[in-house]
Amino acid sequence: MLSIETTMVDFSQYLAAHHVAIHVLDGPRTGAIYPIRAVRLTLGRASADLVFAEDEMSRTHAAIEFRDGQFFLKDLDSANGVLLNGKSVLESLLVDGDRFQIGSISFAFEIEVRNPEPVTHVRPAAKSPS
């Protein structure tokens, strides 16, 4: 099992190279984008990192977790479950473009690769007047 320190270093390095977020597709706050900046992000109607006024959500309904260089969606023993790409899941790997639903709210999971290296253009040397 990885230590917390190792996980945090791996996560920090991952975030340096990627922008990771969830995008609200339907329901309250449609269009909102929430960057993922923690190893674990909980979603629910109360007692969660991201709280939504949604009666069909449990207080702490689901979590997005970073482990072993990947993200996972996990149902936290909710009353109404979690759908990932239209199928009920207890825990599943998340990849860019996945859609998930908690209560009546639909989300997209997004990963964008950052360009960590600056692009440098070298101009040819100017010709000296003869």
Q: Which residues pair with 93 in a beta bridge?
A: 72
CA distances 23 to 13, 57, 59, Å, are 22, 17, 20
- Given a cut of 70, whether residue 65 has pLDDT beyond it is yes
Residue 117, helix vs strand vs coil:
coil
What single letter denotes the amino acid at residue 113? V
Rounded to whole angstroms, the Cα distance separating 99 from 110 reads: 9
CA 41-103-66 angle, to 5 degrees, is 20
Give the residue-averaged pLDDT of 20-42. 95
pLDDT digits (tens, 9 = 90+) for 4-13: 455 566 888 8
